[in-house]
Structure 1
């Protein structure tokens, strides 16, 4: 009976370590380039040793891949909080996301020539476009068919992390003013102004 208890306790401890390690990698991914995350950093953040990280995930590449999946899952849920068609709510969700991850995203975009970063950047672009189309889709129905593809392209640009960076970082605009600017641009595009 004691052996069964010991094995169960070890399994629970190993699972708790796996969760802490993955959470640590997710935390680091939100503030650093993927290439800048070392196993030593993950281990320190999780309160475990590097060999424990490797026992839990096998390799740095596998850990980072799983952490990225978790980050993207969380981003998707966060960004889909507002109802489709709600421009102000969608802009706020984008800004919530960019305030949290924008600087790291911009760094990853700058590192796009790195073969490890390129697939992440491509996936991010695809997901961003899909999200813009989902969130603004009900409003796009009123845009004439011959203009719709151009308007979608413009909306993807307006809602992009670079627009956030330009307003918040480069121009130093307060968040509420920056959000109002993006909402104005979206509404202007949707109304054909």
Structure 2
């Protein structure tokens, strides 16, 4: 009897978690397609295949759903951008893949960040995530520099690999994905080439 009860509780917990993730995934997907002002709880519930009551039971209200969706989106982005430390070309390949998938969404969020507080929170989290990614991926290059020089180089690497840089090349210039990746590699290489190595001075 105890085994049956435990199995039932585990199955319910798994089903509840699956529902939670489906709702968060639906909220995330809708934000990649529409302005935040155009997304209602009904829209999220319909996309997730649940009732609005289920949604409210899980997240309390719209604010609770938005807060949870911000955490969910950031976790998804961190996972998508995982890249080998110290391998510049592999890291930029991962990054451009991410921008090909999420770049237009990121730009949509940035365009709304001054209009909606939750969008600003999401875009702020994305900026922090990007800087941390750059600091981690390029750690071997940054660690050989004095602290003040490393900070300046980090700033430049953040710009060279930013979603706006991808947009200027891929969307505004209309370059192909390989061309965009090569130019971003050139920018990164130029930044690192001008960095002063204290061992050489």
TM range (shorter): 0.7 to 0.9
Which one of 40, 50, 53 corresponds to residue 51 of structure 1? Answer: 53
1:84 aligns to 2:102 (yes or no): no
| TM-score normalised by structure 2 residue count | 0.81
Name 1:70's counterpart in structure 2. Answer: 72
Q: Secondary structure at the match of 2:118?
A: coil
Name 2:199's counterpart in structure 1. Answer: none
Q: 1:12 to 1:126 in 2, by over 3 A?
A: closer
Name 1:23's counterpart in structure 2. Answer: 25
- More divergent stretch after superposition (99-108 vs 177-186): 99-108
- Using the alignment, how far apart are the partners of 2:119 and 2:21 within structure 1? 24
Q: Secondary structure at the match of 2:85?
A: coil
Once the 2 structures are TM-superposed, how far is the Cα of residue 12 of structure 1 from its aligned partner? 6.2
**Structure 2: which 5+ runs fail to align?**
196-201
**Structure 1: which 5+ runs fail to align?**
none
Q: What's the RMSD between the two structures over aligned residues?
A: 2.7
| TM-score normalised by structure 1 residue count | 0.84
How many residues align? The count is 189
CA contact under 8 A between 1:29 and 1:68: conserved in structure 2? no
CA contact under 8 A between 1:31 and 1:101: conserved in structure 2? no
Name 2:100's counterpart in structure 1. Answer: 99
CA contact under 8 A between 1:31 and 1:103: conserved in structure 2? no
Once the 2 structures are TM-superposed, how far is the Cα of residue 68 of structure 1 from its aligned partner? 1.8
- Using the alignment, how far apart are the partners of 1:191 and 1:17 within structure 2? 49
Name 2:162's counterpart in structure 1. Answer: 160
- Using the alignment, how far apart are the partners of 2:10 and 2:75 within structure 1? 30
- More divergent stretch after superposition (48-57 vs 170-179): 48-57
Once the 2 structures are TM-superposed, how far is the Cα of residue 33 of structure 1 from its aligned partner? 4.3
